[in-house]
Amino acid sequence: MNSRSGSVSRAIAFAVALSALALSGCETLTLGGLSTGMVPGVPKDALTIGKENFRAENYGLAEENFRKAVEERPDDAEGWIGLAASYDKLRRFDLADKAYAQTQRLTGSTPEFLNNRGYSYLLRGDVARARQDLEAAAVRDPGNERIRNNLKSLGAVPARSKTAGARRV
């Protein structure tokens, strides 16, 4: 593995962790690393199941459950950011953009939101838009290590050409 692909792999792994972190806390949108606090045999809601599927890298099932969660509670920013992150992993950036737009309507341009959307642009190879969001996130939360690491990752991703933007791999 050369250093460039290693950097990209680390950036992708970091973004998964960041997306997970960005969907589960009290004051920030976070997703992973925390126990659901669910008791075995007790029914789980769609949001909880979506988080579990996302952590397990079952992005199709995560998308399904996050979509159900936002249909049940359209004002739930945590569900919308989970849906956006799931769409990113499924490379459905058109749908991710809609979910990010709804998240932004609910939360505003928080550092966490800007970091997640910036990472989405990074996945697409849209370095200019990624840099714009990540730098804005860094201004709002200069001590955030995740944001700083994503900014460092920008150099590891080749910029997409104008003709390559619509191409799917």
Q: Does the pLDDT of residue 24 top 60, yes or no? A: no
Q: How confident is the model at residue 155 (pLDDT cuts 50, 70, 90)?
A: confident
Contacts 24+ apart (CB under 8 A), 51-55: 51/23, 51/24, 51/82, 54/19, 54/20, 54/23, 54/82, 54/85, 54/86, 54/89, 55/20, 55/31
Q: Does the pLDDT of residue 16 top 50, yes or no? A: no
Q: Give tens-digit pLDDT for 100-113.
A: 999 999 999 999 99
Q: How confident is the model at residue 29 (pLDDT cuts 50, 70, 90)?
A: very low
**How distant, in Å, are the alpha carbons of 48, 50, 59, 128, 135 from that of 131?**
31, 29, 26, 5, 6
| Domains within the chain, CATH numbers bracketed | 14-27+61-156 (1.25.40.10)
Reduced to 3 states (helix: H, G, I; strand: E, B; else coil), residue 166 is coil
DSSP state of 24: S
- What pTM did the predictor assign? 0.68
Which of 32, 51, 9, 18 lies closest to 141, judged by CA?
18
Which of 52, 19, 8 lies closest to 120, judged by CA?
19
Which of 105, 131, 158, 136 lies closest to 84, judged by CA?
105
Which of 80, 150, 142, 86 lies closest to 115, judged by CA?
150
pLDDT mean over 46-68: 97
The pLDDT of residue 96: 98
- The residue type of 78 is E
* Mean of all residue pLDDT scores within the chain: 79
The pLDDT of residue 154: 85
**How distant, in Å, are the alpha carbons of 10, 36, 138, 160 from that of 81?**
22, 17, 19, 25
